[in-house]
């Protein structure tokens, strides 16, 4: 699997042209960081991220599990949700407030964000990484079977997808994403689109 700069950019463009959720995703990429940085958001804003994580599969994710996770998230006290989102936003959303660009601090920041979010009902590390992707779309890619499989096929690691992933698993995934971003000069939102789109090609090659 080739993840050169030209390939990543081409597949990210193909994602924008073909994926039915792209327009609404782009809207949230542009608005969620500011929305969650303030105090004037509601339960539905947070629910959207959880629903997005499962519904972007367009029916390919087991429907029963999707419903159970979404219902579990709705049952959280909204104060707990707001506290978790605030902790995560402070950890990964604004580098000027307690964060740093060095690797040790970056790991500590994402650990704090994932830990706070995964404490909510219906949220595990994988779904928490979806929150991170929208809180800091230039920096984080959501972990899932598809994005992991493409990075593995590109030689970034050789392990099968851990189900469910731990925080340590996400850090390994994040390291691989950062390596590709540094090599290709793209941001995380571009890389996410390229990885998701590349899975289709990977699946076709294996069938």
Reported residue count of the chain is: 207
Helices 43-55 & 125-135 angle (0-180, nearest 10): 110
Backbone angles phi, psi at 163, to 5 degrees: -125, 100
Which residue, chain included where needed, has tokens 């997808």?
A: 161
**What is residue 100's predicted lDDT score, i.e. its pLDDT?**
43
User: Using one digit for the tens of pLDDT, what is the confidence trace for 1-47?
Assistant: 899 999 999 999 999 999 999 999 999 999 999 999 888 899 999 99
Which residue, chain included where needed, has tokens 């979010």?
A: 117
On whether the pTM is more than 0.85, the answer is yes
User: Using one digit for the tens of pLDDT, what is the confidence trace for 93-152?
Assistant: 643 344 444 454 556 689 999 999 999 999 999 999 999 999 999 999 999 999 999 999
- Can you give the residue ranges of every domain in the chain? 5-206
């Amino acid at each position: 699997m080739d993840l050169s700069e030209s390939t990543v950019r081409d597949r990210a463009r193909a994602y924008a042209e073909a994926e039915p959720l792209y327009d609404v995703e782009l809207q949230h990429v542009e608005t969620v960081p500011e929305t969650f940085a303030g105090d004037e958001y509601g339960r539905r804003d947070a629910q959207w991220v959880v629903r997005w994580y499962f519904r972007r599969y367009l029916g390919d994710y087991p429907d029963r599990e999707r419903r159970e996770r979404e219902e579990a998230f709705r049952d959280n006290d909204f104060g707990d949700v707001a506290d978790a989102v605030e902790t995560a936003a402070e950890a990964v959303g604004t580098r000027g407030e307690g964060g740093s660009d060095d690797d040790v601090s970056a790991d500590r920041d994402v650990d704090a964000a994932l830990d706070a979010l995964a404490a909510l009902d219906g949220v595990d590390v994988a779904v928490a990484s979806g929150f991170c992707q929208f809180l800091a779309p230039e920096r984080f890619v959501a972990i899932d079977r598809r994005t992991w499989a493409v990075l593995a096929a590109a030689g970034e690691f050789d392990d099968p997808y851990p189900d469910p992933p731990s925080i340590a698993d996400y850090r390994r995934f994040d390291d691989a994403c950062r390596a590709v971003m540094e090599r290709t000069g793209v941001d995380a939102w571009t890389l996410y689109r390229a990885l998701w789109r590349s899975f289709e090609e990977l699946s076709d090659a294996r069938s």
